[in-house]
Each structure stands twice: as C-alpha cells, then as structure tokens.
Amino acid sequence: MNGSMMSRSPKCLVTGGAGFIGSHLVESLALSGATVRVLDDLSTGHRENLAGLAGKIDLVEGDVRDAALGRQLMEGVDVVFHLAAVASVAPSINDPLTCNDVNVAGALNVLTEARDAGVRRVVLASSAAVYGPDPTVPTAETAPFAPLSPYAASKAAGELYCRVFAKLYGVETVSLRLFNVYGPRQDPASEYSGVVSRFLERLRAGQPPIVHGDGEQTRDFVFVQDVVNAFVLAGGTPGMSGEVFNIGSGEAATINELAETLAGIAAPNRVSRPIHHPERAGDVRHSCADISKARQLLGYAPAVALADGLARTHAWWRESWQSP
C-alpha cells in the first residue's frame, strides 16, 4: 500500500467485501500482504467472489448495523474500507427507509465503532449521484449536493458524517465519489447491477440491450481495478483526512456508444440495435468526473481505457457463461 501504510503489514476491515468492488479490493489488499477482515451480509455479495483467497482472509457474515459485531471486528484494525450499502438508485426509490437504515445508520455505526476502536482511517465509498443534475461537466468536488434519489441523499449524509467525525473526533476519513464502475464480477441477476453487466447478459441471450431514454445521456465509466487502486491510495496516503475525491475515468461516453461497443465485442455477427424504454426517475442526464484533485493529491491515474475494459469484462463473462 501507499504512504505510511507501507511501513508494515496493515490490518484492514472491508465492509461489503464479498461484493463486486469489495471483492476486488479484498483481493488486492490480501495479495499485497495486508491482514484483511471482511464483513458482508451476502445479500448482494457472494462467497464465490472470494473463493481464491481461502485461508488468506477472514470472512464474517453479518450486518454493518450490528454494533457489537463491528466493535469486535475493528479490534486492532488500521483502516476500514466501508463499501457495504444499498448500492443503487432504483431500490432506494422503492424502499427509502431501508436505504437510509443501511446507508446512513450503517455508516454512522461504522464511524462510531472505528472511533471507539482507535482505527486510523475510514474510507467511504460514496457516489457521483450526490451531485444530481449539475450543469457543469466534468464535475469537480466543489459542486454542491443536489441528490435526486434516496440513494444519493444517503451517500451525501454518509459524507457529512465522515466530515463531522474527522473534525470532531479526529478519525481520519476519506470519501470517494465513485462514478460508473464496471468490470468482472458484476452480477446481472441483481437489481443493483450496472448497465455494462445488464447489456452483456442481454447480448449473451441473443437479445438487444435495453436503453432507458434516448441513449444520449452520458456517463463516466471506470474499470474496477482503477477504482481499487484509488481505494488503496485513499487508505494509505498521509494528510488526506476529511478529503473527498471523484473517482472516474475523466471521460464521458453515451449509453448508445456503450451499447454499440459492447455489441461489437459480444455479438459482432448479429444486429443488436438497442430497445429504448422510458427514462427512469432519479437518473441524471450527464455525468463525468473531474479527477484532477485525485490525480494531484492521491496520485490516482486511471489506466484502463473503456474499450479495453469492456473487452476484459466480456472475456470474464464469456468464461463464466461456459462454466458449469
């Protein structure tokens, strides 16, 4: 790991560590020599995501809202990476109370237990959704909160609690506003899944992708390994307490461009023009990260171009489809 954490083998707790992003982070930490504990309720995560790390990590099935369990797991921990959450807009609109309970009360519980256990730093997985329909694209961290969904509001609340704990209690906190993360292990069967995995699942079944709206909305797609690198930097770079960083590729692509690129990779011999459905409530029109702050202060440098990342994601999906 980077900075002060390189002086010895750090002890890390990753909440949501059996999920899509979390499992990649756990793998990276474990292979770098860190001692890793994982807390996951397995509601959207999967033990299979961590199968290759048997004997190298400690996986505990449980809930981030369980204060007694959190207190136990944080004993001796240097850094908490908090990724456990209701992680999508649509479920939060259908059930805002659960979203608030998991994302806000859960984050507050993690911060409180980290404070009481003397944890050095908490890194929060936040979201670009906190910006809402910001007219300035690319969007910098100085843009105001303008959430359009309970999910976005819950992430904004989590960030505010991080700021309070950094200033009031001296708990080092770093919040990462993740843009559209994609890559291997995204589960298309989950209602929380991202657009890339849903498109791939449709193409695998010989069906065209479903695009909500006209498809000209833009997103900043960032490969999961680049995001993992950002988490590691956020956990180890000295002097970052209270900071917030955008984590994306810094480049925008339309959903139509995404569908066309994926169709060319996954179904090159078929005509796979997307089907357009009505746009979804709570979605923003344009989104792209200004990542200059993360570049300057963290040394963050996304390395995987969209076409390459999509090809790597499809290769993993193809292998998964062929597995018994």
Q: Which positions are catalytic?
A: 151
Pick from 147, 166, 143: nearest CA to 156: 147
The single residue listed with the structure tokens 């001692």 is 35
Q: Report the phi/psi class of residue 93: left, alpha or beta, with left for phi > 0 and alpha for psi in -120 to 50.
A: alpha
The H or E element containing residue 172 is strand 172-178
Instruction: With beta carbons less than 8 A apart as the criterion, state whether 203 and 263 touch.
Output: yes
Q: How far is CA 223 from CA 86, 168, 244, in A?
A: 21, 35, 20
DSSP code at position 47: G
Instruction: With beta carbons less than 8 A apart as the criterion, state whether 117 and 37 touch.
Output: no
According to DSSP, the β-strands at 210-212 and 275-277 are parallel
177-191: buried (b, 16+ CB within 10 Å) or exposed (e) per residue?
A: bbbbbbbbbbbbebe
Query: What residues contact residue 126 under an 8 Å CB cut-off, 6+ apart?
Result: 155, 156, 158, 159, 175, 176, 177, 178, 244
The single residue listed with the structure tokens 């797991």 is 73
